[in-house]
Structure 1
């Protein structure tokens, strides 16, 4: 998600702690894919719980609330069955300028590699648990859409989403990040590719923007990348930058040449980074990362 005007920075593993444990202790059991918002003196953390393939995959999206950004209480949960989905992926939590809450849910179409994004909206966070979903990013037979990142400013709504080609089953793990704009956060117009894979680099197989920071006409993004199909689900995190165009939209992002950030535990996944600035000016950085047994924790680093 957008964190306003503070530039994004990558966390230090040694300074991070676990805030949500996975629902199992084996590869494919994950707590993570966080999306975080600060509002009314609370940190609101939306995340995905997942079991291994054959045992349920992405079983639910959870929203939890915390005063300190460390200890959370669950306030709403939505399960995959509400969406007729085979799996749920990263939720995107945001609050509209009118104070309403929205949760953008990535839902997998059963028996396919297709994804779509549904929207839940309510006056309160708790109300998202019973809100009626409506599809806002449908994808089509040629592409699946998931994992949106949102930003709102005086020019309207902006969205960066992971798009997967569906022409070939074996290539459906490839991904680009596509950019869209909207007057209301519901009806979207695609504007083009924001970030693409780089042949021969650590992100050669696919890229997915995970968070953005906007400062005037400058945008800084973190993104997940992988070099091969075998690194699917174990992406690492890099940084990309871009600028605003004269019409108020954003142009393509340029990836930095830095080495990506990964977990110290093989296969080194560290992805879905999301940051929030607290009222006292300190920063909380949340991310999903591989632990020693192969499961994924949802971790947080606190920085001044």
Structure 2
């Protein structure tokens, strides 16, 4: 069963889980109009896909974007006016695709918004957009008034790649990959900066954890794990409200 880390972040146990997609990984997720929407790497199609799920488990792919085999996680967001954006790891750069619907992302024209970065996590706080991206083995944070032009590069987490930033109301807490596992980082010096809290991995063997807050206070967790056949798969668990 999922559990709460002492920081308040829900974590999966990798046992009480359901497979969402096989030969796939690096998920991100959001809730919109009562449905879960996911972006993840589909290794069969050699693409990043956008998918919709009415129950959080069974997915329907609605858009497919070709991306290099080295591409990492993409970030799927919806702007306040209702525009859909996919921040795509295109291999050593982040590209933006924007459309009126998730289906439209598949035919949108990409625009490069960051060079030398990948696996973005994108959120809006206080009217400012924040993007955490992998640069080498670190995570770097950028800020933007519109999510299009990014500035203010600073190291947000050294020696770790952030996979999810969780808003707990009074603070932000991050989950990150240390290479092969998921670990937790607490607020550091300055907004959007973090420091590791665990001496050991919080979720051994699990990678690319996406923590999705649901109405009512519970969480849907999506992450990448290695299946019994040795290939990556996306799994999900529900964490009850604390």
Q: TM-score, normalised by structure 1?
A: 0.72
Shift of 1:293: 2.8
Is 149-158 or 97-106 further displaced after alignment?
149-158
What's the secondary structure of 2:230's corresponding residue? Answer: coil
Give the C-alpha shift of residue 96 in structure 1.
0.6
Are 1:45 and 2:38 matched, yes or no? yes
> What secondary structure is seen at the aligned counterpart in 2 of 1:127?
helix
Match of 2:181 in 1: 236
Q: Hey, which of these two has a bigger chunk of strand by percent?
A: 2
Query: Which structure has the greater CA radius of gyration?
Result: 1
Q: Is it true that 1:208 corresponds to 2:195 in the alignment?
A: no
Asked if 1 retains the 8 angstrom alpha-carbon contact of 2:12 and 2:203, the reply is no
TM-aligned CA deviation for residue 124 of structure 1: 0.6
SS in 2 for 1:14: coil
- Tell me how many residue pairs correspond in the alignment: 234
Does the 8 A contact of 1:217 with 1:243 survive in 2?
no
Q: Trace 1:1-304 onto structure 2 (pairs within 5 A).
A: 7-22=8-23, 31-50=24-43, 59-80=46-67, 85=68, 87-108=70-91, 115-139=92-116, 145-164=117-136, 175-197=137-159, 207-216=160-169, 218-226=171-179, 235-242=180-187, 245=190, 250-262=191-203, 268=205, 270-304=206-240
> What is the CA deviation profile of residues 197-246 of structure 1, one whole-angstrom value per residue up to 9, with x for unaligned ones?
2xxxxxxxxx10000012445110000003xxxxxxxx20000011684x
2:121 aligns to what SS in structure 1? Answer: strand
CA distance in 1, matches of 2:239, 2:203: 19
Higher mean alpha-carbon deviation, 145-154 vs 209-218, is at 209-218
How far 1:12 sits from its partner (Å)?
A: 1.5
Distance 1:147 1:252 in 2: 17
Give the 3-state SS of the residue equivalent to 1:294 in structure 2. Answer: coil
CA distance 1:301–1:86, shift in 2 (3 Å)? closer
- C-alpha distance in 2, partners of 1:149/1:61? 15
- Name structure 2 gaps, 5 residues minimum: 1-6
Q: Distance in 2 between matches of 1:239 and 1:134?
A: 32
| Residues 219 and 244, structure 1, Cα contact 8 Å, conserved in 2 | no
1:253 to partner: Cα distance: 0.7
The change in CA–CA distance for 1:102 and 1:251 in structure 2 (over 3 A counts) is closer
Q: TM-score, normalised by structure 2?
A: 0.90
